[in-house]
Structure 1
Amino acid sequence: MRILLAEDERSLSRALKAILTKSNYSVDCVFDGEEAVLYAMASEYDLVIMDIMMPKQDGISALKEIRSKGNSVPVLMLTAKSEIDDKVEGLDSGANDYLTKPFDTKELLARIRVLTRQPAVATDNVLKFGNLTLDRGSFELSSPKGKYRLAGKEFQMMEMLMMNPGILISTEKFMDKIWGLDSEADISTAWTYISYLRKKLAALESNVQIKATRNAGYSLEEIT
């Protein structure tokens, strides 16, 4: 999953990015409200984490602008303030949740899981398709024949495929959602990771395959 982090305090931004990346999220970082709006509207994110006190445009104003443009991405607001009026203003402006600094890492990750939960396809943080299971807590891909712990981009690609079984996902969408706007990686990188996943599916003797559709993309299909 891909997160936009808007936090002007550079040291905190670096720390949060490290925490989120370790938890297998892709993170784009911006440092003011104007950038937050530009990034949120230019690409597709699963979640925006946004500080209220930022230069150029504060978080509340940025959030209002994002919502006025029809973008319904979940937004978690961060602030050093704890006054109830600030929380109410954030929620009334379209925020989905609110976290006051300082906060515990476990609480942040729990809030993120709630805001990005997909109840139609996931039960207890586990995705299933065919004889495959992907545990989004342990990052393990398993079948009755064994299991692999997926890391980083492999996990994110498999998660996208298992959340959208049978649906064609273009290589460009993989690049956008997983590598992000600022990445120097090219399309061949996605092809390489698809190859890694196919080898793991074969080793697990899965009844699921990653099917390529020429000039269109990839889809997860059961083998019949």
Structure 2
Amino acid sequence: MNTALCEALRPALESAGYRTDFCHNGTDGLSLLTSGAYDVCILDRMLPGLDGLSLLRAARSSGITTPVLMLTALSGIGERVDGLDAGADDYLAKPFDTRELLARLRALSRRPGTTAATSLHSGDVTLSPTELTLTGPKGSVHLTKRECDLLEALLRTPGRLQTRPLLLAQVWGPLAEVEDANLDCYIHFVRRRLQSVGSSAKVITVRGSGYKFEVQP
């Protein structure tokens, strides 16, 4: 989605209670969508690098079921059919009214199996993003918002590599100017949090690539 449209939509989405991440090309979009960390996706059909239809087909073929609302200036019946056949759950033509966009997002979020869980369970820990708490065998600990966001990104994909750029985009936002050292610091913090609640789960460093959350047998 182009930068101007992202910046125009951001205030309305955040005012409606959505925590948002944006990216501006298909390759980054596929990485974000296949992370499994999102409850709903707004996808522009015309993207540089990897177009929206190809992105969506790749995500669906990898098992991603996140509801997708596709935006496009191509509003003919053929284009709509192509979008829906590629795996889109809904289709909205440009130009559009933001009120309609929000209504369609609410409808997608209400579909069975798409509502965000209040807590995440992985191995011997439970994360509550709403309460900012992590609970394990030895009790609970309160988290900062940044720690919670990082743990949420890791817990949603146990055993799966989360690259450094992807974690930075999910936790700080894709446009934030953040040094890699900040991520390393917060990885250290969440490891200490896991230890403090007596968890046997580990955040594993994949040198040169990123991190994995691994649940011990």
Q: Which TM-score band applies after superposition, normalised by the shorter structure?
A: 0.5 to 0.7
CA shift at 1:128, angstroms?
1.7
Point out 4+ residue stretches in structure 1 off by more than 4 angstroms: 4-7, 9-12, 59-62, 68-74, 85-89, 98-101, 103-107, 112-118, 136-139
Output the TM-score relative to the length of structure 2: 0.61
Select which of 142, 153, 166 maps to 1:148: 142
Select which of 90, 108, 112 maps to 1:97: 90
Letter in 1 for 2:202: Q
CA shift at 1:192, angstroms?
1.4
Select which of 16, 22, 30 maps to 1:28: 22
Other structure's SS at 1:166 match? coil
Select which of 118, 132, 139 maps to 2:125: 132
Letter in 1 for 2:123: G
Aligned to 1:161: 154
Aligned to 1:56: none
CA distance change for structure 1 residues 12 and 28 in 2, over 3 Å: closer, same or farther? closer
Which string of whole-angstrom CA distances, capped at 9 and with x for unpartnered residues, describes residues 134-183 of structure 1?
A: 235555422251242551x4233212221222334333432244445432
CA distance change for structure 1 residues 26 and 9 in 2, over 3 Å: closer, same or farther? closer
Contact between 1:157 and 1:174, CA under 8 Å: does it hold in 2? yes
Letter in 2 for 1:45: L
Aligned to 2:210: 217
Letter in 1 for 2:142: Y
CA shift at 1:194, angstroms?
0.8
- With 103-112 and 176-185 compared, the bigger mean Cα shift is at 103-112
Superposition map of 1:1-224 within 5 A? 8=5, 12-16=9-13, 18-19=14-15, 23=18, 25-28=19-22, 39-43=25-29, 44-46=31-33, 48-50=41-43, 65-68=51-54, 71-73=57-59, 75-77=68-70, 90=80, 92-94=82-84, 95-97=88-90, 101-102=98-99, 108=105, 111-112=108-109, 117=114, 124=117, 126-136=119-129, 138-144=131-137, 145-151=139-145, 153-222=146-215
CA shift at 1:132, angstroms?
0.3
Which string of whole-angstrom CA distances, capped at 9 and with x for unpartnered residues, describes residues 100-159 of structure 1?
A: 7525969736735869959xxx9x5543222201235555422251242551x4233212
Other structure's SS at 2:213 match? strand
CA distance change for structure 1 residues 97 and 88 in 2, over 3 Å: closer, same or farther? farther
CA shift at 1:189, angstroms?
1.3
Q: Structure 2, unaligned stretches of length 5 or more?
A: 34-39, 60-66
Contact between 2:45 and 2:53, CA under 8 Å: does it hold in 1? no
Contact between 2:127 and 2:135, CA under 8 Å: does it hold in 1? yes
CA-based RMSD of the aligned residues comes to 4.4
CA shift at 1:187, angstroms?
1.0
The 1-side partners of 2:186 and 2:196 are apart by 16
CA shift at 1:67, angstroms?
0.7
The 1-side partners of 2:83 and 2:143 are apart by 40
Other structure's SS at 1:45 match? helix
